[in-house]
Amino acid sequence: MREKEFSDQELDAHDFLGGKLRISQPRVGYRSGSDTVLLAAACAARAGQSVLELGCGAGVASFCLAQRVAGLRLCGLEFQPGYAALARANAGKLGFALTVYEGGVERPPKDLRALTFDHVIANPPYFDANASTATEDDGKDGAFRTDTSLADWIDCGLRRLREGGWLTIIHRVERLPELLSPLQPRTGDIRIKPLASRAGHAASRIIVRARKGSRAPLSLCAPLILHDGERHERDEISYSPAAQAILRDGLALDF
């Protein structure tokens, strides 16, 4: 776990949304990428609403969302103090108001438990603590592996949502049953958006959006195809027009 703040020498600035945002991230450690931007694009927040990001890291998803939708009340929960401090510093540099609470989803701080939100977004670690994906950097390892269940992440999110609010999560396809099991008794209008690398390829990740207290049926949406062509043939990333509109131009993801 990253407990101390990052020094300037430990950080690099990375461009997001085609250079609209320049955000500091660790040179070594967990760094947000396209999944984080896709998560922000999938959140259907409107101006004046409130959004909580669980496991906010350096704050990238919240900042991408704030770039697209003005006038949001943004909060984040981060269990690694070093990343929480980095998110606050990034917010100050970018001019976004982001309140970051420190703690885990199993036991959020008391001040956060007193709040409710219109939207909760999350990119939980993709692997459990026993997965063979360990890295030498504690901060990165904590972002990729966890002994906290997806059910705990979902419970935390739903407890912080107002009735009728939306929970949006990005994760790996094989974990879909673990996502749906705790969602279905307490939410409806569950929308599943597959993310496929190329046309004709099986999806490896999904975005799930669910509405607290709804009784509307589940729906499986058309996939988002991320890259053009059958294979990677050039040095640059060959994003599809739909993916480029989200990742470079900052548009919303259509559900």
pTM: 0.91
Identify the pLDDT of residue 139: 45
Q: Can you tell me the distance from the alpha carbon of 128 to that of 131, in angstroms, rounded to the nearest whole number?
A: 6
In this structure, of 1-15, 16-30, 55-69, 199-213, the range with the lowest mean pLDDT score is 1-15
pLDDT level of residue 230 (50, 70, 90 thresholds): low
Average per-residue pLDDT in the chain? 92
Q: Domain 10-226+239-247: what homologous superfamily?
A: Vaccinia Virus protein VP39 (3.40.50.150)
pLDDT at res. 2: 83
126-145 mean pLDDT = 54
Report helix, strand and coil shares of the chain as percent, to nearest 5: 30, 30, 40
Q: What is the average per-residue pLDDT within 83-87?
A: 97
CA distances from 51 to 18, 40, 48, 88, 241 (A): 23, 11, 10, 16, 28
Question: Residue 136's pLDDT is what?
Answer: 56
- Quick one: pLDDT at residue 80? 96
- The ranges assigned to domains in the chain are 10-226+239-247
**In which residue are the tokens 């396209």 written?**
34
Token duo for residue 210: 């669910």
